[in-house]
Amino acid sequence: MSKPFAKKYRLIWVYGFVLAILLFILKWLELRFIIYDHAFDIYIGAIALTFTLLGIWLALKISRPKTNTVFIEKIVYQSTFNFSMDHAALAETGLSTRELEVLQLMAKGLSNKDIADELFLSLNTIKTHCSKIFEKMEVNSRMKAIEKAKRIGLIP
Amino acid sequence: MSKPFAKKYRLIWVYGFVLAILLFILKWLELRFIIYDHAFDIYIGAIALTFTLLGIWLALKISRPKTNTVFIEKIVYQSTFNFSMDHAALAETGLSTRELEVLQLMAKGLSNKDIADELFLSLNTIKTHCSKIFEKMEVNSRMKAIEKAKRIGLIP
DNA sequence: AGCAAAATCACCCAAAAGTATTAGCTCTTT
DNA sequence: AAAGAGCTAATACTTTTGGGTGATTTTGCT
């Protein structure tokens, strides 16, 4: 509590101190150069200059910076190359390895028969997998399953 | 050329003018209140205060606003928004307007029945269109048609 | 060893998708 | 006017998909 307070008002102390010193100097100058005719004008000029500079310094010090928020739109191109599956989303769905495999082949446009041949499995097995996939993904057709899989990042 | 120059240095003129006036006022005050003992200190204080304020004003006026630039990256996924169809590829396939339309709805995951309802056509008509599409795209299922359509840039 | 989940396969039935053929209509081109 | 392309639609048929139930085996984990 006291620290920020001290810091906050330190400028004022500094300012007051500088003022006092300057007044002292001026007083001294007054005594020394009283003989000169235009000494007073010089004092005034010196004071004006000094305090102007002090004011400038003060202003620069205390002026708070304007925050300038810049939004940069970063376009992310969808590419098959650097695709990385969203494992969190996968866990969310609860799909098993085999089911994900089937889903991926499904997304490639293969029919159940094609997938069965690809994986050396019975057509019935693939159908079972499909049913489970649809159930877990809460859809009712391969089209919607693929659409959702792409949307949630299971498939490129 | 001269205009910006004039504008740029106008502050200096103003500043000088103010300085001159203040000096004049002080001179006048000196004559008036010379009888007072501590009048000089008061002048100095007044000058200090005035020029400090002037300095602050000057600083705020001429200093470039301090800007704290905050960069916030906003990720923009490439989407259907700025998609432009590959007309060359379309011509290549020889798909008609209607067929492309059906293909697009097909890609949205709509069933033949849904497409029929959407376009106020008979289910049989949609089936005919589908057949033609598959024929022209050299595929044998909607899934493969969609896959190919995306690949050759007919569909986002 | 034993349990749960995963994976495998089978059978049935209904819905959807796909194939083939035909045909009427419009519009453009020749 | 004739020909061809495109759009529409119907019929009939086959294949694929989706959904349900049930069963067996494999696998992973405690």
Those residues whose C-beta lies under 8 Å from the C-beta of residue A75, and which sit 6 or more positions away, are B76, B77, B78
pLDDT tens per residue, range A49-99: 777 787 777 777 776 666 777 767 665 555 566 778 888 888 888 999 999
Residue-by-residue pLDDT tens, chain B, 156 positions: 444 455 555 566 666 676 677 777 766 666 655 545 555 666 677 777 777 787 777 777 776 666 677 777 666 555 556 778 889 989 999 999 999 999 999 999 999 999 999 999 999 999 999 999 999 999 999 999 999 999 898 888
Q: How many residues are present in chain A?
A: 156
String of DSSP letters for B87-110: HHHHHHHT--HHHHHHHHHHHTT-
Kindly indicate the confidence band of residue A115, based on its pLDDT and cuts at 50, 70 and 90. very high
Looking at the DSSP assignment, which residues form a beta bridge with residue A66?
A: B67
Rounded distance between C-alpha atoms, residue A44 and residue A49, angstroms: 8
If you measure CA to CA, which chain B residue comes closest to A80? B151
Q: What pLDDT is stored for residue A80 in this prediction?
A: 63
Q: Where are the alpha helices (DSSP H) in chain B?
A: 2-32, 39-62, 87-93, 97-107, 112-119, 123-137, 142-151
Please report the beta strands in A13-154, taking only residues with DSSP state E, as ranges in sequence order.
66-76
| Number of A–B residue contacts, CB under 8 Å | 137
Helix (H, G, I), strand (E, B) or coil at B136: helix
Say if the Cβ atoms of B19 and A48 lie within 8 Å: yes
pLDDT tens per residue, range A120-133: 999 999 999 999 99
Rounded distance between C-alpha atoms, residue B2 and residue B115, angstroms: 71
- Nucleic acid strand C: bases within 7 A of protein CB: 5-12, 16-23
Rounded distance between C-alpha atoms, residue B154 and residue B89, angstroms: 7
- Nucleic acid strand D: bases within 7 A of protein CB: 5-12, 16-23
Chain A interface includes B88 (CB < 8 A): no
Q: Where are the alpha helices (DSSP H) in A33-111?
A: 39-62, 87-93, 97-107
Q: What pLDDT is stored for residue A2 in this prediction?
A: 41
- Residue A17 or B140, more confident: B140
pTM of the model: 0.58
